Amino acid sequence: MSASLSHADARAVLDAGLAHAAEIGQPMNVAVVDDGGHLVAFARMDGAIKASIDISTRKAVTSVLMAAPTAALTPLVQPGAELYGLEQTAGGMVAFGGGIPLVRDGVLVGAVGVSAGSVEQDVSVAEAAVAALPG
């Protein structure tokens, strides 16, 4: 049971992200996906840019597909680096920060993706969201 991400889990993660975004005064899009990259919960705050609906969701999906935070991919996809061009695979991935895996008892159960602020803000909201995953 604890091996899969429930809707209640996803809502807790989502709401923690929204609360932190409100605290820092930056409207955000927050997406929570399961371990297959399928959407479980999503919210767009008032004033958050619309491009980030897709970007936040794609960050979450990327984190699941790569089993890594999207920020870890940034150096790898630069010109000359090992995975240059990676973003154009697997249906389109995002290689800048804001996507973080959700891990419980060592098992990847999903991911959260945040977008609409600076990358630093997106990452801080994603970290707050991930920290709220019920045990």
Helix (H) or strand (E) holding 9: helix 7-24
Handedness of CA 25, 29, 31, 37 (dihedral sign): negative
> Using the rule CB under 8 A, is 44 a contact of a second copy?
yes
Does position 80 bind a second copy by CB under 8 A?
A: yes
**What is the tally of helices (H) and strands (E) in the chain?**
3, 4
Cα–Cα distance between 24 and 21 in angstroms, integer? 5
134 binds a second copy (CB under 8 A): no
Pick one of 58, 112, 129, 130: the residue that binds a second copy (CB under 8 A).
58
Is 19 one of the binding residues for a second copy (CB under 8 A)? no
Is position 118 an interface residue for a second copy (rule: CB under 8 A)? yes
CB of 38 to a second copy, least distance (A): 5
Q: Which contacts of 43-46 are long-range, i.e. CB under 8 A and separated by 24 or more positions?
A: 43/14, 43/18, 45/18, 45/21, 45/116
Minimum CB separation of residue 43 from a second copy in Å reads 5
- Write out the residues near a second copy by the rule CB under 8 A: 3, 6-8, 10-11, 34-46, 49-51, 53-55, 58, 62, 64-67, 74, 77-80, 82-96, 118-119
